[in-house]
Structure 1
């Protein structure tokens, strides 16, 4: 699909441009890689309040090219890919080779409120209508709206553990199943899960934290000149959002095209066997439980190579993403906060025989 960034119009709310965001390179890289390869498994962003977490995530969703959907479908079903269709449309497509009316829409960006119930998240089945009329009456939830888009949970560390489990299960499987009184409904729920939080309010349980593909840390900018630049940018945007956005239009188009090209290139990216062995050695020496760390590091390195326009992963690709993929999987003292990545980078330098990069 051709990449097109729409010019700002009065019909659509103007969003702060992704390319205008200063600093926070770690967060931006993690988000871009998950958009290129959603199977990386989402991003957990931990950092200080007021550091632009929500602004960056909304800017990314606005940057992405529009997607083709079946017109009027509540699940954003793909018009020709049966794996991205609701069950009913999929059956119709496979049995009758039906063609569906196509509409285009912005990539959905769904905010999950802290007080959301499981019914609001997963959807509900109208039992009365199902029994009286013999039809599966389903009211879609937030997971349905987020299909093929981004699901953002602010203060995820304050969310009920059971709901976090539901979100992670759907993000991993790509499907949401709702069952009630013997009636079961299943629909696609493929989305990039992005959680954010403040470490001062507590960490997620390690079992849940491990299931996020990447973990980005962000800090308040300390350099006065940079802080002034950020404040002035925000003031300019608030004063005249259309003018401010127009100034970054060319950069937005270029970045969007890079993302689209990377998504296309990803399948042809290769990772040398020796590098794969060393990645697993880093995971082993960091005492990472399970193989999720190995898998995510491999995927993220390939996504970065694709983003940089290459079809072969380099050692530098791995260096840039290894801490993002592993720092939240290290065993640690319960009283410690998540390591900044020093331990991971130290082991990486030893295994790969390179000098430890200075932060």
Structure 2
């Protein structure tokens, strides 16, 4: 091989090596650049399985007891109004029943038979008999109304007492569920925080409820517009309301596996960044997440929310905002790149 050929070969080898290095660098950096733009999920959200189980159990128990307390209080108000009406009726009957008593006293002294025997003629006898019958009918009617009103009053008072006892029983249930949630949350931080509150958050349309105010049991039978999976009707309603009221950044809901309520179609992850989940949210992206978390908490009862997690904090109806450290120190498990929503 001549010197000229060796030089050309060496130059070609150098160029080939350079091209290979550039291609390798491009392949190595491509996934990292693409990852935040359109991820299907935020990654491992961490969390303690026992904590999630306790929160779900306590959340459902707390919600059911809360509805029962509200119904018991409404029942007491209705019964108090009924008692006032009965008492008004009794006040109106009092003078009429007094007349009955006076009439009975007089007839008792004279006697119906004496009144009839004192008739001057058959026609007078019939008139007096008819009069006594009318008096008896009137007296019986007034007395019957009095007895019925008193009976209704007794039943209403008993029902009011029962409603009050039910309220106290359900309040005890709520306190128990709150205590269970606080014990579980104490394992992942648990200290009270200021959380995220915005009094000007928009108001969502309420999710459908049963006639007694409770939430109906639902299965994962609605198409999830964010994935190829399914959602419960309540989750889909919350997702649609969130988007309708201005929170339109990337969302991922159903997942076949993983923590929280995603496999049940009862959870969604809302990216704080416009293009995807990525790293810790900051600046305007963090403000977006703050506003979204505040919106969800303000509408928790309307939407049937179980809990919300955002930026190392968790909101639970029984406890309010608490510190949340059940994570691995990354944006997904710390929930610093997305707002997590779980529904009942």
TM band (smaller chain) = under 0.3
Normalised to the residue count of structure 2, the TM-score between the two structures is 0.24
Which structure: greater helix fraction? Answer: 2
Structure richer in strand, relative to its length: 1
TM-score when normalising by structure 1: 0.24
